[in-house]
Amino acid sequence: MTESISAYLVRRLQEEGVNHVFGVPGDYCLTLFSEFERSPIQIINTCDEQGAGFAADAYARINGIGACVVTYCVGGLKAANAAAQAYAERSPLIIISGAPGRRERLRNPLLHHKVKDFDTQIRIFRELTVGTASLDDPLSAADEIDRMFALAKRHSRPVYIELPRDMALAGIAPATSGPLPPDSSDGEALDAAVEEAVARVSEARRPVILAGEELHRFHLQQPLAALVERSGIPVAATILGKSVFPECHPSYLGVYGGALSLESVQRYVESSDCLLLLGAMMTDVNLGVYTASINRRTSIYSAKDRVSVGLHTYDDVRMEDFIAALSKHDWEKRRFEPFDHPRHPGPFVPADRKMTVAALFHHINAFLDKNMIVIADPGDALFGASDLFISDGAHFLAPAYYASLGFAVPAAIGVKAAAPKLRPLVLVGDGAFQMTGIEISTAARFGMNPIVVVLDNGGYGTERPMLDGAFNDISSWRYAELAKAIPGGRGFEVETEREMEAALIEARSNVSGWSLIHVALDRDDRSSALKRFTAKLGERARGG
């Protein structure tokens, strides 16, 4: 019996390691949902398509590839924001959308969900992905599916696949095109780049590695660790790359982001006479709103497909090949100037004082263990969390570049599906929670146990110091009482340090369901990192 297009698509997802898909059904994709239901892949229905996209993005960041399944336009365009974030932050997300059948499109009728033309949605996704495909031809569908998966993995960025509903059950022809050509380095350029980089590092008095998020995306943590073990070079991480290198390692400095950094980290990194930037995206947040001091002449920069050593650029040099070569070099082991190594904090001793942002992160730091993954939403949830100590084996996840509010709660669902042994600890502001916090309902339905900490300062605390106004205020919710509306969870109201300690202890013991801790904070209380960040960003927001 000939395999159908939808069956082939589902089978190929399985072969790529996708065991869960996230989405919301609609009439243009019901046949595809039915195909998933007959397969070993679990469908996780979210409350909203943007939530499905965020969950699939987080799943991809942990699993290596993730998939979101939606209906035409009303679903796909809701997921477009998640696709944009996945593109910006290099996450291999597969967006699959149903669409009107080919025969339905004859004479250009005004079908429901249509926007302008029948190809409006696919044209939009061309701007948000590294590849798009419409599976409207059984002869080429298999090749197109395989090509999309290969592009997503090669570039660690999203792709878009559109399936007209009258093609879902059509018989598919075997794939004929074969794999994409190997993505390999130019040998001479690689050798020259490595030779010059080794010479620079060997001559340097204080080399430092700045490790970024692309090492996560292209699974280069082990080559990085090998390089550090052989060379002894100290390592800092960007905020987007936090946890890419074990924070318990004696060579780890901390998070570097210019003025956003701890003073000791900033001082050590900026005194380096040879900075190796490995997989670090040069975004405004990673660079502390461009307060980072990076001298291009004394830096070595390795991105996905090129290397720069000082002012010399070597094209067609793949990051993985460059780092692998450095990790195998016979480095002379040297002792570098000592630095303040981050250590796991001791127990936090609470008092009957009112909760503050500083006390909150002291509590969280003492609470974390190796079985947790911290997922932080943009805002003080992110900036305050940048100095948390992430245990070896644990992870830190945050959209610190594209910075779409509302990522963290649905991301916890994707993370838990991808790594069931990890427990998500979600840090989210009240404004972001009001956007997508209802996805706790999805976590409850599928028996997941995230701990969600809502930082409630009554509005958008990141924007207030830039330009204050009533437009930054939001409605007050009784967040903890969601446990009465959504089964399987527990809610905690926190106003003091002692209440915070008790809530965390009880949330940890609630292993069978979700927990929400509502932390009441003063309107203008914010972390020192956020104060530094908004002081710089505020100048731009006000047109300065």
Is residue 350 scored above 60 in pLDDT? Answer: yes
Annotation: CATH topology of 5-167: Rossmann fold (3.40.50)
Is residue 539 scored above 70 in pLDDT? Answer: no
Residues 43-54: pLDDT tens digits? Answer: 999 999 999 999
Which of 412, 361, 353 lies closest to 382, judged by CA? 361
For residue 50, what pLDDT is reported? Answer: 98
Is residue 31 scored above 90 in pLDDT? Answer: yes
Strand ranges across the sheet with 20-23? 42-45, 20-23, 66-70, 93-99, 159-164, 132-134
Is residue 1 scored above 70 in pLDDT? Answer: no
pTM of the model as a whole: 0.94
The CATH number, out of the four listed (3.90.1150.10, 3.40.50.720, 3.40.1190.20, 3.40.50.1220), of the domain defined by the range 187-328: 3.40.50.1220
Residues 245-300: pLDDT tens digits? Answer: 998 899 999 999 988 888 889 999 999 999 999 999 998 888 887 778 888 999 99
457 is in an annotated binding site: yes
64 is in an annotated binding site: no
Residue 266 pairs with which residues in a beta bridge? none
Confidence of residue 221 (pLDDT cuts 50, 70, 90): very high
Residues 182-200: pLDDT tens digits? Answer: 888 989 999 999 999 999 9
Mean pLDDT of the chain: 92
Cβ–Cβ under 8 Å, residues 413 and 66? no
Is residue 131 scored above 70 in pLDDT? Answer: yes
Segments making up each domain of the chain, as ranges? 5-167, 187-328, 357-541
Residues 407-462: pLDDT tens digits? Answer: 999 999 999 999 999 999 999 999 999 999 999 999 999 999 999 999 999 999 88
Q: Please compute the mean of the pLDDT values over residues 141-159 and round it to a whole number.
A: 97
57 is in an annotated binding site: no
For residue 535, what pLDDT is reported? Answer: 67
pLDDT > 90 fraction of the chain, expressed in percent and rounded: 74
Question: How far is it, in rounded angstroms, from Cα 376 to Cα 380?
Answer: 9
Is residue 374 scored above 70 in pLDDT? Answer: yes
For residue 519, what pLDDT is reported? Answer: 97
CATH architecture for the domain at 357-541: 3-Layer(aba) Sandwich (3.40)
For residue 494, what pLDDT is reported? Answer: 97
Residues 54-91: pLDDT tens digits? Answer: 999 999 999 999 999 999 989 999 999 999 999 999 99
Q: How many helices (H) and strands (E) does the chain have?
A: 19, 19
Residue owning tokens 């996905």:
304
The distance in angstroms from the start CA to the end CA of the chain is: 67
For residue 342, what pLDDT is reported? Answer: 67
For residue 538, what pLDDT is reported? Answer: 61
- Listed in order, strand segments (DSSP E) in 268-371 are 274-278, 299-302, 306-309, 312-315
**5-167 matches 357-541 in fold:** yes
